[in-house]
Structure 1
Amino acid sequence: MSRSRAASGTGVALTLHDWLSLTGQSVLEVTAGPVFCDGPGALTRIRESLAWYPDDVWRYAVAADWSRLRQEFPDVGRAGLRGDEDGSAVIAARHVRTLLHLAHLLHRCWPPYGKWLAHSAARLPGGTALRVTVQEVLRAPQWRSRQSALADAVEQLAVVQGEQGLPTLSPATEPFFDRPHIGLREMAELVTAQIRGPAVRALPVGAGTAEQISDNVSVLVGADARRRLVGG
């Protein structure tokens, strides 16, 4: 897949690296809100072309969020078991952000930047239940309840994934060896296996799009910087 959908009638074609360099916020700045006058129809065609990722890129991004979660999912409990509740809470909060991003991806909704991410996620289908669960994560006083609430959020999104026609696992979590922690099963691998295009299959496993690689505002607000980030 060297090129994906073209912005019909605009002379603009989006390459794979164009798609990877987009952030949800950059797309929303063009596609959100009403259009009161578009006589030539150019803006409408651009908005239509940015409706959502091509399927392979979508799967790649979904798999990247699952991969990121899996890498440090047990560390919420591992830090807590060492007596570092603050460290456990910091790791859990980072997982919450990834889960909220993943919720948008699964529902094919562009995720806004951090200021609006939780608010937007709460408005997704099933978002109220997810919001309650992530609040339990963020307010948990100790690591056992924190990791349990995180696991509940994962299971909710694993169900959504199946509803959206992607392969899933039930349960999506599992014990972390013989320790009192929770790990994540091979959700990323399941989704990655459905990627068909050789160009997307050749991308770095688990790296994802620009906004998954970095949350540095100075990078994400610059189109050229985002393209460099994804190798474009």
Structure 2
Amino acid sequence: MQGIQLSRGFYTDIVRPWLNEVAPELRHSAALIGYGSELLGFDDDVSKDHNWGPRVHIFLGRDDFGNCARRLVDEFSKVAPADYLGEPIGWRSRPHPPANGVEAAGASEHGLEFHTLEALLEGHFAVRSVENLNALQWLGFAEQKLLAFTSGAVFHDDDSRLSQTRDRLRYFPDDVWLYKIACQWRRIAEEQAFVGRAGQVGDDLGSRVIAARLVRDVMRMGFLLERRYAPYSKWLGSGFARLPIAEPLPPHLQRALHSSEWAEREDALASAYQELARRQNAIGVASFEPIVGPYHDRPFTTINADDTVEAAHSAITDAWIKQLPIVGSLDQISDLTPLLEDAKLSQRMVSQLDS
């Protein structure tokens, strides 16, 4: 059984009837969001060694949280079954402990947690509301965290606030998206000729490393063109395989990774760039005429990436975004986990784009 299905049943069969009995007037939302392989449907038997199991997040208004959340956590500890559908409900403590904070409450005895929506947003994104988000805030949100918040499942939503918040975070505003596309092509432009140059001087290992970096950049561009958030590295390939653009790309990417010749590597990557260009033109965003050929006067196969950088950048209408250096959003600048996971640090770092 997948974790989402297990947790949905836990709420429906155990938590909801209990809440109806002990707090029948309590308006709440119930969901499983925030972290865990089960949110993306990638959980398996290995996933059961940490945080996997029957668990539910209950969201309350701030007044209701203050009045009853901790009491309800304690009361549920006394009546909760030891297991549900054969799975123990006690907390599996790596890497996330039970919720415990000003507006978060949980217990190691079970997977039922109480939160305010504002506190969860603050922890995930360093904001307490998604109303009127500015472009800089969007650029400081890690895609893997946006994916974790908008994936999973909502089991119940009395006032629709949780669902509305998730809808607002479903994907980047258009100008932020175009900026990220421009920056992703810039990443490709910076290194695409180096596969051949390193190979030409006999540095086969260096050529392979650069090719692998470019394969990752192509994959992340695929997520952008399909308007999907990219998961973190463990699930990047699994998530990529679900994208419509994944059908034509893998043969080229596999060839780039497996080839023993640098010329074949760069040829495979050029074919992948062309597939990206076809998709970009097909969706009618920042269209450009892809041209594959030598890198200036050097015998390295590249695509005219600078032209698509310019096409995407020219399509941006927001004057503030347009004046930014073509550097990238948070996870285009760094993939360091502590940075991506610390929302306040993420926002502080990206704020330097505006300095």
1:191 counterpart residue number: 312
Structure 2 letter corresponding to 1:201: K
1:51 counterpart residue number: 170
Q: Does 1:73 align with 2:192?
A: yes
CA contact (8 A) 1:74 1:181 kept: yes
Over residues 137-169 of structure 1, what are the superposed CA-to-partner deviations in whole Å (9 max), with x where a residue is unaligned?
111112011000000100000000011111333
* Equivalent position SS for 1:51: coil
CA contact (8 A) 2:226 2:245 kept: no
Tell me how far apart the structure 1 counterparts of residues 241 and 289 of structure 2 sit (CA, whole Å).
23
CA contact (8 A) 1:75 1:91 kept: yes
1:222 counterpart residue number: 342
Tell me how far apart the structure 2 counterparts of residues 28 and 39 of structure 1 sit (CA, whole Å).
23
TM-score, with length taken from structure 1: 0.91
* Equivalent position SS for 2:351: coil
Tell me how far apart the structure 1 counterparts of residues 339 and 179 of structure 2 sit (CA, whole Å).
21
CA contact (8 A) 1:172 1:187 kept: no
2:333 counterpart residue number: 213
2:95 counterpart residue number: none
Q: Show the 5 A alignment for 1:54-203.
A: 54-185=173-304, 186-203=307-324
Tell me how far apart the structure 2 counterparts of residues 126 and 74 of structure 1 sit (CA, whole Å).
24
CA contact (8 A) 1:107 1:164 kept: no
Tell me how far apart the structure 2 counterparts of residues 134 and 141 of structure 1 sit (CA, whole Å).
14
After TM superposition, the runs of 4+ consecutive aligned structure 1 residues lying more than 4 A away are: none
Tell me how far apart the structure 1 counterparts of residues 180 and 218 of structure 2 sit (CA, whole Å).
13
Over residues 32-74 of structure 1, what are the superposed CA-to-partner deviations in whole Å (9 max), with x where a residue is unaligned?
1221111121110111101111111110000000011001110
Tell me how far apart the structure 2 counterparts of residues 80 and 68 of structure 1 sit (CA, whole Å).
20
Tell me how far apart the structure 1 counterparts of residues 231 and 311 of structure 2 sit (CA, whole Å).
26
Structure 1 letter corresponding to 2:217: T
Over residues 165-197 of structure 1, what are the superposed CA-to-partner deviations in whole Å (9 max), with x where a residue is unaligned?
113334343311232202331211111011111
Tell me how far apart the structure 1 counterparts of residues 174 and 150 of structure 2 sit (CA, whole Å).
19
Aligned length: 222
Tell me how far apart the structure 1 counterparts of residues 251 and 240 of structure 2 sit (CA, whole Å).
11
Structure 2 letter corresponding to 1:97: R
Could you tell me which of 157, 160, 164 is aligned with 1:38? 157
**1:228 CA drift (Å):** 1.7
Structure 1 pair 225–11 and aligned structure 2 pair: CA distance change class (3 A):
closer
Over residues 101-126 of structure 1, what are the superposed CA-to-partner deviations in whole Å (9 max), with x where a residue is unaligned?
11000110111111111221121113
Tell me how far apart the structure 2 counterparts of residues 11 and 111 of structure 1 sit (CA, whole Å).
20
1:6 counterpart residue number: none
Tell me how far apart the structure 2 counterparts of residues 104 and 153 of structure 1 sit (CA, whole Å).
14
Could you tell me which of 18, 21, 27 is aligned with 2:140? 21
TM-score, with length taken from structure 2: 0.60
**1:11 CA drift (Å):** 6.8
Of Structure 1 and Structure 2, which has the larger fraction of its residues in strand?
2
Percent identity reads 37
1:3 counterpart residue number: none
- Structure 1, unaligned runs of 5 or more: 1-9
- Structure 2, unaligned runs of 5 or more: 1-128
Tell me how far apart the structure 1 counterparts of residues 293 and 179 of structure 2 sit (CA, whole Å).
23
* Equivalent position SS for 1:129: coil
Tell me how far apart the structure 1 counterparts of residues 201 and 288 of structure 2 sit (CA, whole Å).
30
Aligned CA RMSD, in angstroms, stands at 1.4
CA contact (8 A) 2:130 2:165 kept: no
**1:24 CA drift (Å):** 1.5
**1:128 CA drift (Å):** 2.4
* Equivalent position SS for 1:171: coil
**1:135 CA drift (Å):** 1.0
Structure 2 letter corresponding to 1:164: I
CA contact (8 A) 1:173 1:183 kept: yes
Tell me how far apart the structure 2 counterparts of residues 41 and 167 of structure 1 sit (CA, whole Å).
35
